[in-house]
A and B are shown apart, each in its own frame.
Chain A
């Protein structure tokens, strides 16, 4: 319950401190270094992880999900999303190759071996397919 105190509501006018704080902050800044957020620890990276800036169309992702379910013998109603990793879905390295082959056949594209081996999530696969489809259609 709001209670109104007897004292008048006073608006205090003070010089804006913000600007002063900012300039203090700036002068106190040391040189900024941008550290890479992805650090590789004990591993040897031999091929860059396939990274795409645009995501696959929803239809592509849906088709990929259904092919993946079939290839990995998952139930029709199994929850497979873009974030699902092939490992979580039960695929080993052999399965991943076969899934990629299945996707190649279905979409009429060709994925290079190094790229195929870097696919970790269903989204990765869909994004890669989208790019390859665009290239193919542009040709």
Chain B
């Protein structure tokens, strides 16, 4: 039975299309999406933007069964993509979130809870130390979080810890759609060795949000935030499923093929 839950990752460093191949994949998408993709200055960003959109349309098609050419995805003012023409129960709250950083583009969906995904690639700019880099963000983490980071160990470990906190905060603001301007310092993450992760918002523990962290590879981590929308049905409040599903790796070729397969099915 379709659960509506998906966690997909694509390693974009494995996809190296020619200019023509890239253009032909771009042309599979609706025109306004094509325009947005071509506005990115760097090719790597265009690649990630394209794959992000392929994932969005694929996830909607696979979970909800809507034909590719009927899927309409818009963005909020803050830039969060959402489906305009969803289907009813049991997927009336179906929502998804995409993220990309470094070599990976990912997508997560949920039939009921708001879901946010953030992927981080653990790296620092050249000619900067870990300490210098992290000091840019001193006001974005709380005193307690910085204290926990300081306790850990080498600068590499500290950097990884920093990125985990950042990743979780991003996943949260992306799930809520609050986006830019939320104020990361309002969030404080508590955890037991990065399990049992909970968030305190403005000093108050939130029971409605669950978080998980995944190590994708040596340099990439992903975080998922899942929570109830404001005013969600009370009957679901205590039963937030705790177990998280893992990520499945997809390839760009698979995503493209599933589109043509979907189109063939619809034209029969």
Q: How far is the CB of B40 from chain A (nearest CB, A)?
A: 5
Which of B82, B180, B184 has the largest number of chain A CB atoms within 10 A?
B180
Known: A44-B176, A98-B136, A113-B139. A90 touches B181 (CB 8 A): no
**How many angstroms between the C-alpha atoms of A88 and B36 in the bound complex?**
9
B215-236 interface with A by 8 A CB criterion: 230
B149-182 interface with A by 8 A CB criterion: 166, 170, 176-182
Q: How far is the CB of A116 from chain B (nearest CB, A)?
A: 9
User: Per a CB cutoff under 8 Å, which of B76, B101, B183 touches A43?
Assistant: B76
A98-139 interface with B by 8 A CB criterion: 98, 101, 113-115, 117-120
How many pairs of residues, A versus B, come closer than 8 Å at their CB atoms?
82
Q: Quick check: B178 and A42 within 8 Å, CB to CB?
A: no
Q: Quick check: B184 and A41 within 8 Å, CB to CB?
A: no
User: Per a CB cutoff under 8 Å, which of B74, B79, B178 touches A87?
Assistant: B79
Known: A90-B42, A90-B45. A41 touches B82 (CB 8 A): yes
Kindly state whether residue B209 has any CB partner on chain A within 8 Å.
no
**How many angstroms between the C-alpha atoms of A12 and B178 in the bound complex?**
64
Kindly state whether residue A52 has any CB partner on chain B within 8 Å.
no
Known: A90-B40, A90-B45. A42 touches B177 (CB 8 A): yes
* Additional A-B contacts beyond A45-B181, A87-B79, A88-B40 (18; CB < 8 A): A41-B74, A43-B80, A43-B179, A44-B230, A46-B183, A78-B41, A87-B40, A88-B39, A90-B40, A90-B41, A93-B170, A93-B180, A98-B125, A98-B136, A113-B139, A113-B140, A114-B181, A120-B180
List, sorted by A's number, 15 A–B pairs whose CB atoms are closer than 8 Å.
A40-B76, A41-B76, A42-B80, A44-B177, A45-B178, A47-B183, A49-B181, A87-B79, A88-B39, A88-B40, A92-B101, A97-B140, A98-B125, A118-B180, A120-B180
